[in-house]
Amino acid sequence: MTTDLRGLTPAPPEPEHLPYPDADVLDVASLLDPAERRSLEAIRAYLHDVVRPLAIDYWNREEFPFELLPGLAEVGLGEIELGGTSRLYRGLVYAETSRADVSISALVGIHNELIVGMLSELGSPEQRERWLPRLRRFEALGAFALTEPDHGSDVAGGLETTARRDGGEWVISGRKRWAGLGTIADVALVWARDAADNQIKAFLVETDRPGYRAQKIPHKIGLRIIPNADIELDEVRIPASNHLPGATDFSTANRMLRSSRAWVGWQAVGVQLAAFDVAREYSLERRQFGRPLAGFQLIQQPLSEILGNAQASLGMMVQVARLQEEGRLEMLHAAMGKATGTRLVRESVAKARGILGGNGVTSEYHAAKIFGDAEIMYTYEGTYEINSLIVGRAVTGVSAFR
């Protein structure tokens, strides 16, 4: 047994192995059938071995990793919503993607929930036939354009982008902000107000149409791999057939947002597992006072708290997935999953960053990247506050916002 540098207390034995190489300590994966479990393991290995190490460099350079798209398609991440798999499987895949990299998980999640999922539910047979074969292979990319410069939280009531019918065409005019992949997507799913009936509807706008202009929003503190865009739609003409027939008013958007909000709850699980992975590994390698950090009680406590937060979020999302499976998911459930998960994320990533000391503030190590990405999760898909107010409205019957 060694003694610490000041000879005050005997150091504990060196750890010989990691007792839980898999942070799924509650063995939630055992709820999957064997085929889904094998598939999840294969996806996890790919994400861990290929995506995670590459992502950090792209994150630092604020560049999109086109080279990863064929591999992501190969393991099925372009078509999760089309596969007929269980909700729990999809959630765990989303969590594993987020554990590897939050930006890549935003690419996969928005693509599946808001582009592929929306097209397959609300699109016409022709729209599905035209777009889904390429989208599911990541050979085409879509951008989801709802938020506007002057309307974020109040977009449902305030949306200003207009759609005017002109013979066999729609003419779309307005501005969008934050649309992920807006500068590189092949098609944007644009929400606009029909000038005739004042309803908010969804339209497929090919990004090479005259009048579509997108500019990347630079210098973000998180999600740096995803080019979020300011978009100008200057009298963009699209065929009448580009309107999504199932998207006739904002309640259709809300129905889809329920599911995508739940997806952020899964992202929250994954990023906390990432925080745990990074902090545990570092605490085992880094030595101070003559012993690994992992041997100090005040390091073991935050490690235990991060893991506990992750498992609490996971437990909640397992039940959210069950409700989804049974067709019983309400906005209350999705909003609570998103709000609670991202609240815990803030705590977890801060604790992980702290465990890395100074090395926690440079993105050469993963902790700083996770720390920045967590802030985006707190804000997008309805901010923490708005999702809390949705829960508040559901449990009191009184709306604190309109």
Ligand X SMILES: Cc1cc2nc3c(=O)[nH]c(=O)nc-3n(C[C@H](O)[C@H](O)[C@H](O)COP(=O)(O)OP(=O)(O)OC[C@H]3O[C@@H](n4cnc5c(N)ncnc54)[C@H](O)[C@@H]3O)c2cc1C
For ligand X, give the closer residue by CB, 43 or 389: 389
Q: Binding pattern to ligand X, positions 86-115, x when CB under 6 A?
A: ------------------------x-----
Residues linked to residue 144 through DSSP beta bridges, in sequence order: 189
Applying CB under 6 A, the span of 16-24, 166-174, 324-332, 372-380 interacting with ligand X comes to 372-380
Under the binding rule (CB under 6 A), the answer on residue 185 touching ligand X is: no
Cα angle vertex 58, ends 53, 62, to 5°?
A: 155
CA atoms within 13 A on the CB side of 287: 11
Q: Which of 339, 374, 47 is nearest to 223 (CA)?
A: 374
Report DSSP letters for 192-210, one per residue. Answer: EEETTT--EEEEEEETTST
For ligand X, give the closer residue by CB, 227 or 302: 227
Under the binding rule (CB under 6 A), the answer on residue 386 touching ligand X is: yes
For ligand X, give the closer residue by CB, 178 or 276: 178
Q: Tell me the pairing of strands 142-145 and 187-194.
A: parallel
Tokens in use for 38? 């094998």
Which of 146, 225, 244, 367: binder of ligand X (CB under 6 A)?
A: 146
Residue nearest to ligand X according to CB distances in the complex? 152
Applying CB under 6 A, the span of 131-139, 144-152, 162-170, 349-357 interacting with ligand X comes to 144-152
Is 203 within 8 Å of 192 (Cβ atoms)?
yes
For ligand X, give the closer residue by CB, 59 or 282: 59
Q: Binding pattern to ligand X, positions 295-334, x when CB under 6 A?
A: ----------------------------------------
Is 193 within 8 Å of 200 (Cβ atoms)?
yes
Is 119 within 8 Å of 135 (Cβ atoms)?
yes
Which of 147, 242, 272, 311: binder of ligand X (CB under 6 A)?
A: 147
For ligand X, give the closer residue by CB, 145 or 356: 145
For 242, other C-beta atoms within 10 Å of its C-beta total 21
Under the binding rule (CB under 6 A), the answer on residue 144 touching ligand X is: yes
Under the binding rule (CB under 6 A), the answer on residue 401 touching ligand X is: yes
Whole-number minimum distance, CB 196 to ligand X, in Å?
23
Which of 376, 377, 390, 391: binder of ligand X (CB under 6 A)?
A: 376
Under the binding rule (CB under 6 A), the answer on residue 178 touching ligand X is: yes
Q: Which residues contact 192 (CB under 8 A, 6 or more apart)?
A: 159, 161, 162, 163, 172, 174, 200, 201, 203, 233
Applying CB under 6 A, the span of 53-61, 143-151, 165-173, 203-211 interacting with ligand X comes to 143-151
Which of 223, 356, 367, 391: binder of ligand X (CB under 6 A)?
A: 223
For 347, other C-beta atoms within 10 Å of its C-beta total 16
Applying CB under 6 A, the span of 193-201, 348-356, 364-372, 376-384 interacting with ligand X comes to 376-384
Q: Which of 159, 142, 230 is nearest to 194 (CA)?
A: 159
Under the binding rule (CB under 6 A), the answer on residue 379 touching ligand X is: yes
Report CA torsion sign: 243, 247, 249, 250: negative
Q: Which of 150, 152, 155, 130 is nearest to 140 (CA)?
A: 130
Tokens in use for 152? 């974020």
224-253: which residues touch ligand X (CB under 6 A)? 228
User: Which residues make up the interface to ligand X (CB under 6 A)?
Assistant: 110, 144-147, 152-153, 178-180, 220, 223, 228, 376, 379-383, 385-386, 389, 401
